[in-house]
Amino acid sequence: MKVDSFSAKETFALGQQIGEAAEPGEVYTLVGDLGVGKTVFTQGVAKGLGIQEPVNSPTFTILQVYEEGRLPFYHFDVYRIGDVEEMDEIGYEDYFYGDGICFIEWANLIEEILPQRYKEITICKDLQKGLDYRLITIEEKERSAQ
């Protein structure tokens, strides 16, 4: 699925739709350069899950857990992971295979431990279409067997 977004409000609204439709155990990867709207999208997802507290990128904590919504929401930013084994220390399997939904930024750094199936959300700018334009692509992914 490809969606054109022409404002942060539209990006937030799409995230909210994803949150409203989310099912327990879903894992999403979030791909995009700095400043494309990953946090705005994620805030929309949280709103769709009924989470009221502020949602920010977990850049310095690796994981933010939000449990007040209709489903637990686990937001990972693994940019600072030096080795995939650090994810074991966090107990990632409890989150990836738990009752909530996971959003993972910089998931390419931990590809080998991603679930067999997940959804990849890619957000891209196109300045020719405007400063606030984003192309948001949502794809079902299946990791090849190791």
- The superfamily CATH assigns to domain 2-142 is P-loop containing nucleotide triphosphate hydrolases (3.40.50.300)
Place of tokens 């991603």: 114
Place of tokens 């929309």: 44
Q: Collect all residues with Cβ–Cβ distance below 8 Å to 10 and sequence separation of at least 6.
A: none
Residue-level pLDDT at 56: 83
Q: Collect all residues with Cβ–Cβ distance below 8 Å to 102 and sequence separation of at least 6.
A: 26, 27, 28, 74, 75, 76, 95, 96
Residue 146 has pLDDT above 60, yes or no: no
- Segment 43-82, tens digit of pLDDT: 999 999 999 999 987 767 889 999 999 999 999 999 888 8
Burial class of residue 141 in the structure, from the number of CB atoms within 10 Å of its CB (0-12 exposed, 13-18 middle, 19+ buried): middle
Q: What's the rounded mean pLDDT across residues 122-129?
A: 94
Of 18-22, 33-37, 111-115, 141-145, the poorest mean pLDDT is in 141-145
